[in-house]
Amino acid sequence: MDTPRSRIYLDHAATSFPKPPGVLEAMQRFVTELGTAPGRGTTRAGAEVQQVIDRCRRQAARLFAVPRPEQVIFTLNGTDSLNQAIHGLLHTGDRVVTTCWEHNSVLRPLWQLQQTQHVTVEVVPDDGTGLTDLQAFAQALQQPARLVILNHASNVTGLIQPVNEMIALAQKAGALVLLDAAQTAGHIPVSFHTLPVDLIATPGHKGLHGPLGTGLLLLSDRAVQQMQPVRQGGTGTRSESAEQPVELPERFESGNLNAPGIFGLEAALAMLPAPSEESGELALTRHFLSAVENLSGVQVPGGGADRPRVPVVSLSFERITPHVMANLLDAHYGIETRAGLHCAPRAHAALGTLEQGGTLRFSFGAGTTEQELDQALTALAEILAAM
């Protein structure tokens, strides 16, 4: 094992790094040259800030095929988007159907509503292959459900779930559908055209390459009619009224927006290549998985290179815990990964990795190179041999 070499960042599922050229410059320009709160004045600087925010909203609307830009709601992150959707749609006694692959950003709001508003939650199990059991999902929808929440791709395994089939079943049952696109937005095509859901929630800082502190909640026409705001306050409009404005997007955007973050997100979206099912990141993922198959004492929960996925891979080991492996990779090779439960305990329970403390996750981004992955594979082999 070596002393640390140059940094190899393989934790893009947590947040993309480095950000594209232009993101920092856009944020810096807001902070150093403009600096005014959007929607709170009539100055030239304020007008320019509003133009960038409006442009970002239009770019997101085009990317996700949102009916109108006003139906793009800026949030703080993916968790904030999911909380607005979940708390804004569910009422006392409602029933929700979701899956074992969900992040705590879904599981914890639902648990809270179970305790406080007697919301009934049914969690559909896996089918033993890393995917949701479609037969069990169809059975769960035999009873009326207000909302179905679907994880598009697991942040543990990277496997793309059979959402097309599940969306069709949910629509037939008359349920609203909320899609958590945290691991798919920016990596593969995600839009209201390709996936006829009611809401899409995503952070801005992962596959969309924006800064931390940004998120999007995308609303269909049906969601606009049914979702209630979960916070109220200043919007810069209708200040004479005690009631929250009904107009979009102000209805769901109380308080000052994260203008520096939105400046950065606008720059990132402007440079984002069209998401593709055959991106370079996915080719690298298959390369990595094919090589991992030759390592002794390594398992790939959720399966190998031939399955539809995003650039996320989890590994478990026979003779070493994921946390120890992550520390060795970082300390001796400068390779940054993520060990643990990844805020998805039910996913690890389904995969059988909960008791061992989860898995070691590798996740790749636009700047990841084949050379970096080969260095990671060599490091894994050296550590395993030393064991």
Strands 335-336 and 312-317 come out as unpaired
Between 39 and 7, residue with greater pLDDT: 7
Query: Taking a C-beta distance cutoff of 8 angstroms, is the pair 341, 314 a contact?
Result: no
- pLDDT score, position 203: 98
Predicted confidence (pLDDT) per residue in 41-79, tens digit: 689 999 999 999 999 999 999 999 999 999 999 999 999
What is the pLDDT, as a whole number, of residue 112?
98
Question: pLDDT tier at 5 (50, 70, 90 boundaries)?
Answer: low
Residue 136 above 70 pLDDT?
A: yes
Question: Mean of the pLDDT values across residues 150-160?
Answer: 98
Q: Give dist(CA 92, CA 118) in Å, integer.
A: 6
Q: What is the pLDDT of residues 280-337, one digit of tens each?
A: 889 999 999 999 999 999 999 987 778 899 999 999 999 999 999 999 999 999 999 9
Please report the sign of the dihedral spanned by the C-alpha atoms of residue 44, residue 48, residue 49, residue 53.
positive
**Confidence at residue 239, expressed as pLDDT on a 0 to 100 scale:** 82
Do you find a cis peptide bond into 249, omega within 30 degrees of 0? yes
**pLDDT band with cut points at 50, 70 and 90 for residue 2:** low
Q: Which helix (H) or strand (E) holds 203?
A: strand 199-203
- Domains of the chain, CATH where assigned: 8-19+276-386 (3.90.1150.10), 23-271 (3.40.640.10)
Q: What is the C-alpha to C-alpha distance for residues 180 and 199, in angstroms, rounded to an integer?
A: 9
* Beta strand 199-203 pairing with 72-75: unpaired
- The C-alpha atoms of residue 360 and residue 363 are separated, in whole angstroms, by 10
